[in-house]
Chains A and B, each alone.
Chain A
Amino acid sequence: MPFDPDKSYRLHDRVALRPEPFGALAYHYGNRSLNFLRAPELVALVRSLGDHDSVRSALSASEIDERRWPSFEKALASLARSEVLVAA
């Protein structure tokens, strides 16, 4: 299922988010995927997704500059492909 920023997503329950100076490591115990999240604002966004009805509304609620949203959506889509994020 392709990533849809108008849908709601949450972190997969088999994923561990380990904070790091560069942002965070995301490890999926189920499929062994390892992702490097390279911005603290991305980590905060990912943690906030469960509280919103859509990715777009999570972005609106965040402090992230609108001009950067395409990059952030691309990042979330990538995490969805690894099943780090799943449709909520």
Chain B
Amino acid sequence: MTMTPSKPNSLGDEMKSGLDAPICLTWELTYACNLQCVHCLSSSGRRNPAELTTEECEAVIDELQRMQVFYVNIGGGEPTIRPDFWHLVDYAVAHDVGVKFSTNGSRIDADVARRLAGSEYVDVQISIDGADAATNDHVRGEGSFATAIEAMEHLRAADFGEFKISVVMTRHNLSQIDEFKALADRFGAQLRLTRFRPAGRGADSWHELHPTNEQQVELHRWLIDHPGVLTGDSFFHLSALGESLPGLNLCGAGRVVCLIDPLGEVYACPFVLHDEFKAGSVRDEGGFRKIWLESDLFTGLREPQSAGACASCGEFDACQGGCMAAKFFTGIPLDGPDPECVIGYGADLVAAAQGNALPSVSKDHSRTRVTLGTKPGG
């Protein structure tokens, strides 16, 4: 009797060992920013004088084109305040690299909106962290909500089409989830909800701001009920609750994605801007391609990862131990449970680690240290 073929690997299983080129990646163009959001993942604020030059950026784009990287997510800091921002966006598009840029909206006026509406391969993502000014400005600064809404109005007036609204889910804004959806619908925009990691300045307020376990369960249910809402696959640790969300459902760092920072340094992802997760520099001989294919960091990440302390848990196949950035910056071993493990295995480890010296960011470009004031609404 002919045997049926054995069950093939899941797509996620195949991606774990990495590809010869990223599918897409994040590129922080500058550490300069006109805002000082409390939880900034890149600790941005001041421009670093050693930022990649225009020519160096063009060389990176040329490499991405050769490697057939389809899409680049440009951020920062605030990428639009780089003087050569528009030139680089046009250059990328002209070299087969699609662009999405993430912005606080401060440079999107009527003219810019019209220009964006006329370009076929550029996507725009506006960042907010509250569905109203009180909640948003509490973390992003006074006037930032109004600026973001104004940018959205300009995009709508220019008939841009479907831009993205991106929100980092916190204890304070999770209750506004339906309002975020209504806001996106009002503008014909696509809503994107992402996970708050203890990265960059986020480490300072993570304990106060990260969602409670009850909120995580509520969020998971809501995302299942709203499959059109994007998440950047940032909630794959919630798969341990039962149903998987759309996406690859695995950590893509060093396997299908990575980060290039404003100085050309390559990290596993934007949430681990720390020497421990630095793979190399595009200024090294061999450039980006050599780092992607041969760096010790990425080669290591593409090897089968040990389940470690999670080996006996029935949910490990679903959650794979969660996010390494979340573990690293809360002091949990990388083969341990996620700090927000839905079963609860992470909570004790986080508490225990709090007394120890935790890893701190390798680069801090903050202009000021902003602390979280009273909770919005009293």
Contacts and interface: CB of A to CB of B under 8 A. Distances in A.
Interface size grouping (class) on chain B: 10 to 19
Contacts of B70: 16, 18, 25, 27, 29, 34
Contacts of A47: none
Given A32-B71, A34-B70, A25 B23 contact: yes
Contacts of A53: none
A22 to B, nearest CB: 5
B8 interface: yes
A41 B33 CA distance: 49
Given A18-B68, A27-B70, A32 B98 contact: yes
B21 interface: yes
Interface in B108-127: 120-121, 123
A1 B98 CA distance: 28
Interface residues of A, number: 12
B14 A22 contact: yes
B370 interface: no
Contacts of A27: 70-71
A20 interface: yes
Interface in B68-99: 68, 70-71, 96, 98
Interface in A21-57: 22, 25, 27, 29-30, 32, 34, 36, 38
Given A18-B21, A34-B23, 16 more contacts: A16-B70, A16-B96, A18-B68, A18-B70, A20-B19, A20-B20, A25-B70, A29-B70, A29-B96, A29-B121, A30-B120, A32-B71, A32-B98, A32-B123, A36-B11, A38-B11
The 6 closest A-B pairs by CB, nearest first: A27-B70, A18-B68, A22-B14, A29-B98, A36-B11, A29-B121
